[in-house]
Amino acid sequence: MNKVGKIISAACCASMLFGMAACGGSDSSSGEVKLEFLTGMATGSAQLKAMTTVVNAFEKENPTVKVTLVPGTSSYESDLKVRLAGRNAPDLWNTHGWSRDRYADFLEPLQGRSWAKNMSSVIDTAIRKDDKSFYALPLDVAVTGIIYNTTVLDKAGVDPKTITSWDDFDAACRKVVATGANCLAASGKDNWTVGNIADYTASGMYTEAQLKELKSGSFDSAAYEKAVTPIYQWARNKYFNVDYTSATADDVAKLAATDKVGFVIQPNSFVQSVESYSADAKLGVMPIPSAVGDPYLVTGEDYAIGASKTGKNKETALKLIDFMAEPENMKTLSDTTGNAPAISGVEANIGQLADTYNYWVEEKKTQTYPIFDRVYLPNGMWNTLCTTTDGLLTGQSDPGNAAAQMKTSFESLYGQS
């Protein structure tokens, strides 16, 4: 199936409703096996292009198999939930951070695959159960913290290695703003960028006891209010880009590309966005300060692929996952993410973050925490996290109101299947 055919077929699948037939299946008359693969990857993205390359190679080796790659949309999560609730699961899907805590009951365990012994242990806390089982092949090892612009920090006289507390970070922000640059940047148009700030910083605002309470279903409004107060205060101190409300995610990348922002709290793939506007931008990554302990990095599965355990073509789907795990294909896929590969022995292409990444991850062995919402918040709370944090920046809300809204959402969703 050529690239155009895949896009047309993907569009067909994306438009199907719950009661209609899925794209996966088989044609008994021709012996053809059809796999439906919900990629969660945006149309035209580097990730989908890389996946198309790998799938084309798989189809060439397996001429009786045809794979439909379905691009991701803004309703990806809700569409997938409907499919699973209706027992109409796709053959494969991108678990987007939820292979263990949301989709494990629907996915085939993968710890017995031949490549499993070579998988990085760095993200074990995010994808493995207590019995060491896991349910998706990560296409990368997403370990990150705060991305910074070296040029901006040098001009402000800020050494990122000296930022070990939020007080240190606040002092750095004051120095950056004094040079005329923004300390932080996010997008009101694409408010996942500000939701991401709360998501990355929250784990270091909670004690271990408080995190256990969250996992057990108890939401402490006072604890969350304290967790997001720094974000609210940064906005009051005018540390964020003044065009936050109208800015897009691309605008944030342009600020970094033109040395107009010191810090951005986004995944490592942000670097690629910046470099698309300026190859000369100098960026690094640093740990996130903690209010309860040492600085840390966050880890999770940006892209991870699992196979339906009830799929009619499960063995073929698993064969495709095994194919993705081959070193050559894993490199093709991980090269597009700005993260290290999930399989050992595969050369990493982290780009200009390599030096600082290796310093904090390999040399300093910085502790990692899983991304907050994927472990401590129930299914369906991401949108609330984004909108309440957006309200903190715009001034339409304050930490107390944000915590109250989060508590209502938490108690409504906790325990729902």
* pLDDT score at 8: 36
Average confidence (pLDDT) over 357-376: 92
Among 142, 127, 203, 122, residue whose Cα is nearest residue 373: 203
Handedness of CA 185, 383, 414, 375 (dihedral sign): negative
Average confidence (pLDDT) over 311-324: 98
Residue 137's pLDDT band, with cuts at 50, 70 and 90, is: very high
Q: How far apart are CA 279 and CA 271, in angstroms?
A: 10
* pLDDT score at 235: 98
Please report, as a single letter, which amino acid is at residue 208: E
Q: Is 297 left (phi over 0), alpha (psi -120 to 50) or beta?
A: beta
Average confidence (pLDDT) over 105-134: 92
Average confidence (pLDDT) over 156-180: 98
Is the pLDDT score of 224 beyond 60? yes
pLDDT tens-digit map of 324-340: 999 999 999 988 887 88
Average confidence (pLDDT) over 164-187: 98
3-state SS, residue 296: strand
Alpha carbon distances (Å) from 71 to 76, 300, 347, 382, 395: 9, 21, 27, 20, 35
Report, at the CATH architecture level, how domain 143-299+356-413 is classified: 3-Layer(aba) Sandwich (3.40)
* pLDDT score at 9: 43
pLDDT tens-digit map of 275-284: 999 999 999 9
Q: How far apart are CA 393 and CA 390, in angstroms?
A: 5
* pLDDT score at 66: 98
* pLDDT score at 256: 98
* pLDDT score at 349: 82
Q: Which fold has domain 3-138+303-336?
A: D-Maltodextrin-Binding Protein; domain 2 (3.40.190)
Q: Report domain extents, the chain.
A: 3-138+303-336, 143-299+356-413
Q: By percentage, how much of the chain surpasses pLDDT 90?
A: 75
Q: Could you tell me if 205 and 227 are in contact, meaning their C-beta atoms sit under 8 angstroms apart?
A: yes
Average confidence (pLDDT) over 66-76: 91
* pLDDT score at 276: 92
The residue among 300 and 26 whose pLDDT is bigger is: 300
Among 111, 113, 112, 92, residue whose Cα is nearest residue 103: 92
Q: Could you tell me if 412 and 225 are in contact, meaning their C-beta atoms sit under 8 angstroms apart?
A: no
Exposed/middle/buried for 417, CB within 10 Å: 0-12, 13-18, 19+?
exposed
Among 203, 196, 204, 202, residue whose Cα is nearest residue 164: 204
Q: How far apart are CA 39 and CA 316, in angstroms?
A: 17
Tokens encoding 377: 């918040």
Q: How far apart are CA 190 and CA 389, in angstroms?
A: 12
Q: Could you tell me if 204 and 296 are in contact, meaning their C-beta atoms sit under 8 angstroms apart?
A: yes
Is the pLDDT score of 218 beyond 70? yes
299, β-bridge pairs: 143, 370
Domain 3-138+303-336 and domain 143-299+356-413, same fold? Reply is yes
